[in-house]
Structure 1
Amino acid sequence: MSDSVTVRRLTPAEAAESVGALAEVLIDCVEGGASVSFMQPMTEAKATGFWRSVADGVARGERALLVAENGDARIVGTVQLVLAMPENQPHRAEVAKMLVHRHARRRGVAQRLMQAIDAIARGEGKTLLALDTVTGGDAERLYARAGWQRAGEIPNYALMPDGVLCGTTIFFKDLSAQP
Structure 2
Amino acid sequence: MRCSWAKSKEAIKYHDDQWCKETHDEKMLFKMLVLEGMQAGLSWDTILKKEEAYNQAFDDFDYHKIASYSKEKIESLYEAEGIIHNRLKINSIISNAKAFLKVQEEFGNFDHYIWSFVDFKVIDHRYVDEKEIPASDALSTKISQDMKKRGFKFVGPVIIYSYLQAIGIYNDHLLNCEWR
TM-score, length of structure 2 as denominator length: 0.25
Question: Which structure shows the bigger proportion of residues in strand conformation?
Answer: 1
Higher relative contact order (CA 8 A, sep 6+): 2
TM-score, length of structure 1 as denominator length: 0.25
